[in-house]
Amino acid sequence: MTRHVVLIGVDGLRIDDALAGGDAPALTAFVDAGSMASMEMEVPTLSGPGWASILTGASHAEHGVRDNFFSGHNLLDHADFLSRAWFADQTVTTWVATSWPPIADPAGPAPIVWWRDEARRSGRHNVIVRDGETYGYSRMDGEVVAWSAQSLRWLGPRASFIYLGEVDLAGHLYGGAAPEYRAAVASVDGRLATLIESVRERAAANPDEEWLVAITTDHGHLDIGGHGGSDPILTRAFLAAQLISAGGVKRPALPTAIVPTFVAPYLLDMLAGGDGLVAGGRDL
């Protein structure tokens, strides 16, 4: 069996509300049939530092991303998990698609996911960047998911990261307790259903593949909107995961509580065929 890993990031998702409120049936079903860890985010609970920690396995102090401007960062010494998978084995194909440019835009101040032009030009690294800030997250998430659904089904990259920003924008505009926020959660839940279905179809057609699909977030949102501080509604995050193959769905091993720096080593270990219980995971 060849392992594949897919991480889907929903920016600014209040996971407890999403699971309790009935707005996210696809995510709820995914969690019910899979494994879930609660994840405590480091302060400041901002997207730049949060995603940098999740994607690289490094703490705020180590990667040096302090805000969404990325000035003075040390991402050169803390590569993202897609790049590290490729450094370890150049046959590994990778996919990143995002509606928030700092995740992967080579023209921006980061990016967190390395551009890796040689791999990109040879088709082993594919990058889809859309600008949700300028053109709207709902529409740009739609393009990210349309491209990613095709990629997962037909290209079958070994390691992927897919970022969705609509929920976070609704939190900023209307607040984390607003009906508009709940509507954005429902919208993104439909996108999750599309991506999960793509992996199911891929796995059903390729019995020699086993797919770890993981879903996460980088912080919550205050009732009035906004994030950055240490309020539990902001530091509360999660990692949910399923192992999907032609034989059906399995629950991968996952500690009940993790920190963001657990995620990248976990995904790399799973990609390499391990059980994901990397050092530090078991005892958290």
Footprint of Zn ion on this chain (CB under 5 A)? 11-12, 47, 218
What is the closest distance, in whole angstroms, from the C-beta atom of residue 40 to Zn ion in the complex?
Answer: 15
Q: Which is nearer to Zn ion, 45 or 151 (CB)?
A: 45
CB of 235 to Zn ion, least distance (A): 12
CB-nearer residue toward Zn ion: 184 or 212: 184
Amino acid identity, position 68? N
Smallest separation, CB 14 to Zn ion (Å): 12
CB of 42 to Zn ion, least distance (A): 13
Q: How far is the CB of 50 from Zn ion (least distance, A)?
A: 6
**Which two tokens mark 121?**
């030009």
Residues 139-171 as b/e (b if ≥16 CB within 10 A, e otherwise) read ebbbebbebbbebbbeebbbbbbbbbbbbbbbb
Closest CB to Zn ion among residues 26, 52: 52
Q: Which is nearer to Zn ion, 110 or 212 (CB)?
A: 110
Cβ(240)–Cβ(30) below 8 Å: yes
Look at residue 187 and give its three-state secondary structure: helix
Give how far the C-alpha of residue 121 lies from the chain's centroid of Cα atoms, to the nearest Å: 24
Minimum Å gap between C-beta 219 and Zn ion is 5
Is residue 237 within 8 A of residue 217, CB to CB? The reply is yes
Contacts of 13 (CB under 8 A, 6+ apart): 167, 168, 185, 188, 217, 220
The Cα–Cα gap between 10 and 17 comes to 14
Query: Between 27 and 119, whose beta carbon lies closer to Zn ion?
Result: 27
Residue sitting closest to Zn ion (CB):
47
Please report how close the Cβ of residue 126 comes to Zn ion at its closest, in angstroms.
23
42: left (phi over 0), alpha (psi -120 to 50) or beta: beta
54 or 240: whose CB is closer to Zn ion?
54
Question: What's the angle, vertex CA 189, arms to CA 12 and CA 260, rounded to 5?
Answer: 40
Listed in order, strand segments (DSSP E) in 99-196 are 125-129, 159-164
Residue 166 vs 218, nearer CB to Zn ion: 218
